[in-house]
Copies of this chain bind each other. A is one copy, B any other.
Amino acid sequence: MVRPLAELETPTLLLDEAKLDRNIVRMKARLAGFGVPLRPHIKTAKSRDVYARALPGAVGVTVSTLAEAEYAFDHGVANILYAVGMTPAKLDRALALRAKGADLTLTADSLEAARAIAAKGEAAHDRIPVVIEIDSDDHRAGVKPLSAAARDIAAYLQQSIGARFGGLMTHAGGSYACRSEAAIRDAAERERRAVVDTAAMLKADGAQSGIVSVGSTPTATFGARFDGVTEVRVGVYMFMDLVMAGLGVCGVDDIAISVLVSVIGRQPEKGWIITDGGWMALSRDRGTAAFPVDHGYGLVCDEAGRPIGDLIVVSCNQEHGIIARRGGGAVDPAAFPIGRLLRILPNHACATAAQFGAYDVIDGVGAVIARYPRIGGW
């Protein structure tokens, strides 16, 4: 049932379907040009209704929780990469999902973790595929490219009864700190080399072939080479956000999600408009804080999604968002009557979307055409 935006209760999460589809098509076309398929990361969308559009031609999905893995499998995706290091206590659930038929691959960056996985696999008469995480930019987890540790884990997995070598993966999370397209392109090449060179070393050691997986939305957008890579993992690209716009990965007009809020008050002497979109709706993410253009807790748009001058959400309480001009200055209170609807573009799509249980989907002219549920939890 198509409804006008004004019938929604605020705050709520809007998803512009046309922008979503455009973002998905653009990334797919770019990587198709390099002959490399996607393994979309569903941690951003957390909704089959959203990420299903990215599945045709994809090798499977990437997940960051077992809840996402179970959800993906229940909705028809068998090939799943759990791209977070494993803790032994989660193995029973992972094995249960494999026993139901999921081709679930786990991740390890230590012999200790690989052994724990193999022990459980052996006890369950399963041989669990494990990818080794490679640390391509000193940013998070993983063993070093071309390291003895990578060699040791691969050798262990090759001879294991309860696990097997599934390949290599890395994530250039450091690309979020880049400040130019050239820097992101360099990060992409480091990301690629980290896994491709290590895979070649392991192949020379006699390892079976496996996946060679890279991925971050910035590096996937600007990477100049993908030779040797078997798949690209990206999630934010479906929605984009102000961090991606700040990196030059997209334009502000490409951002597919926004939070619909209502004006609930004004403080004219301070130049403030107060809305019902606080951090409970926008999240506490301040991803643009260190960027040349800091959007506070989000960029303020009118009901049609057009930015209103230099208005941003300058501060948040739990259920109050305070809007002001970026550099300070007067705001005409008469332009913001109580009840006026505004849309806030998010710093970080993953964090803002996670504050909601569903998307209100809008078409190109702002009519509400559907509601897509999201999953949460672990």
- Which chain A residues have a beta carbon within 8 Å of chain B's beta carbons? 6, 9-12, 43, 64-65, 84-90, 93, 109-110, 112-113, 116, 135, 138, 140-141, 173, 262-267, 270, 274, 276, 279-281, 283-286, 317-320, 322, 337-339, 350-351, 354-357, 376-378
Contact = CB atoms under 8 A, between A and B. Distances in A.
20 contacts: A65-B319, A84-B319, A84-B320, A85-B265, A85-B274, A86-B338, A87-B262, A87-B263, A87-B338, A110-B266, A113-B338, A140-B274, A141-B264, A173-B317, A279-B285, A281-B378, A284-B286, A284-B351, A354-B355, A357-B376
Nearest to A281: B378
A355 B6 CA distance: 28
B87 A264 contact: yes
A30 to B, nearest CB: 24
A89 B357 contact: no
A113 to B, nearest CB: 5
Contacts of A64: 318-319
Contact of A274 (B90, B141, B377): B141
A79 B358 CA distance: 30
A89 B141 contact: no
A279 B281 CA distance: 15
Given A113-B338, A265-B141, A317-B173, A89 B284 contact: no
B283 A87 contact: no
Given A9-B378, A110-B265, A284-B351, 9 more contacts: A9-B93, A10-B87, A85-B320, A113-B265, A140-B320, A283-B284, A284-B284, A284-B285, A284-B286
Counting from the closest, the 6 A-B pairs by CB-CB distance are A85-B264, A284-B284, A87-B262, A64-B319, A85-B265, A88-B339
Nearest to A68: B319
Contact of A338 (B112, B140, B173, B350): B112
A93 B110 CA distance: 54
A285 B283 CA distance: 9
Nearest to A322: B140
Contacts of A283: 283-284
A89 B264 contact: no
Nearest to A348: B284
A265 B356 CA distance: 30
Contact of A264 (B6, B43, B113, B279): B113
Contacts of A263: 87
A12 B377 CA distance: 9
A64 B319 CA distance: 7
A51 to B, nearest CB: 15
B354 A276 contact: no
Nearest to A109: B265
